Structure 1
Amino acid sequence: MQTPPLLHVELRQEETRTVIVLAGAMDRDCVPVFTAAMAEVARAGAAAVHVDLSAVAFCDCSGLTALLTAAQDSRAEGRTLRVHAPSPAVLRLFTLTGTVGILLGPGPRTFGPDETAAKRFEDRFPAPPV
């Protein structure tokens, strides 16, 4: 019997955007769940997609690649994709890989549940220039 993926995806339509709320782990086994959600959003014709990562406890390079691919594909298809509220673990991955600016964009950032810890980490270990 196959174990279900450890990533929960909730799609929510708001006034001007589609929100994808992710919870759990974004690893090699769970990336297809996120990819399917992105495909569903694209089929629905969403112009703006916001991905909430506040409840993602773990993200490996497969999850990071899926997020970067989603951002690139969205741009190519004329859709905006914004990532919001990364958990401290996800923010650490973004910071270490220099993808903070790519995925979170410029300007003020919103952090996940442990906002002060994430901010302290970002202040101590700024992302290298991209």
Structure 2
Amino acid sequence: MPDPAHSVTAIPPCMATMDVMPDGDRMTVTVWGELDLGSRRLLPDLHDILTLSGSGIDLRLDAVGFCDCSGLNVLLDLRLRALDEGKTVTVRSSGRAVGRLLDLTGTRELFAAPGPHRDGPTAEDGPTAEDGPTAEGGPRRGAADDEEIHADDRELRSEVTQLRRAMQTRPTIDLARGILMASFGLSPERAWSVLVRTSQNTNTKLHHLARDLVGTVCGGTLPEPVQQQLAAAVASTAPRSGAAEDGTGVP
């Protein structure tokens, strides 16, 4: 079967707009609208803005009313480009939609602003590795602390890599959910439930099911057992008051 990335040949229209304001050696980018699969169309402009900046981009996402994993993937792509250029991308502010997704995926700290630069430790910092033991006889900071920091960094990088791999399939899943919403008049939550239930009942990986469902738009067909389980899932999940949701007309 073809790779999911090649199942979709067109990116939907972008439902977001942005405004750019220089701020010293950084660029402040304010975004309005929705960050979904179509927001990938913003990446070329964001890459140009990043290149023009001295140290990176500060994002203000308060006015973003919707953000899914495709939108988050755009932010992660931008951050990866920034790392390649020795720059940073921070989320200075965000609304509920973006903030909830950052918290659920554990990626908020990836876009946190770095702390203020200081020339050296202050009195509040406590003893350094060179200071020796504290007055209370506590352990001094040294190589063990550095190793712990490096271990945390490696773990964080591993988590980000796993997250990015998982999110590569999300655009196709989001498209499949949209097809179910349009075909049967389902809400986003019910369309998601139909996908998950059909995946479980047919022992099919979710992203494989989504890929095959998206393929029906280009003339493909679902196997008969999958059609039956999909129809059953629609019938049991959606309200029974509408003909569009009675399980008929399965792609």
TM-score by length of 1: 0.71
Name structure 1 gaps, 5 residues minimum: 108-128
1:113 aligned residue: none
| 2:92 and 2:113 in contact (8 A); partners too | no
Aligned length: 106
Which residue of 13, 38, 52 corresponds with 1:29? 38
Q: C-alpha separation between the residues in 2 aligned to 1:32 and 1:99?
A: 22
Q: Which digits, 9 at most, give the CA deviation of each residue in 1:69-92, with x for residues without a partner?
A: 111210121112111111111111
Distance 1:106-1:93 versus aligned 2 partners, 3 A rule? farther
SS in 2 for 1:85: strand
Measured in 1, the distance between the counterparts of 2:111 and 2:16 equals: 19
* 1:54 corresponds to which of 62, 81, 101: 62
Change (3 A) 1:16 1:106: closer
Distance 1:13 1:45, change over 3 A: closer
SS of 1:101 mapped into structure 2:
helix
Instruction: Give the superposed CA RMSD.
Output: 2.2
Q: Between Structure 1 and Structure 2, whose CA radius of gyration is higher?
A: 2
**Shift of residue 105 of structure 1?**
5.0
1:23-76 deviation per Cα after TM superposition (whole angstroms, max 9, x unaligned): 10000012212x022122134253221111111111111110110111121012
Give the deviation of 1:18 after TM superposition.
0.6
Out of 66, 72, 86, the residue aligned to residue 74 of structure 2 is 66
Higher helix share: 2
TM-score normalised to structure 2 length: 0.39
1:5 is paired with a residue whose SS is: coil
- 1:93-112 equivalence runs, <5 A: 93-104=101-112
Deviation larger for 41-50 or 83-92: 41-50
In the other structure, the counterpart of 1:80 is 88
Unaligned stretches of 5+ residues in structure 2: 1-11, 116-154, 157-251
Equivalence map 1:6-17=2 (5 Å) = 6-17=15-26
SS at match of 2:94: coil
* Contact preservation (8 Å) 2:82, 2:88: yes
- In the alignment, structure 1 residue 5 sits paired with structure 2 residue 1: no
Moved over 6 A (4+): none
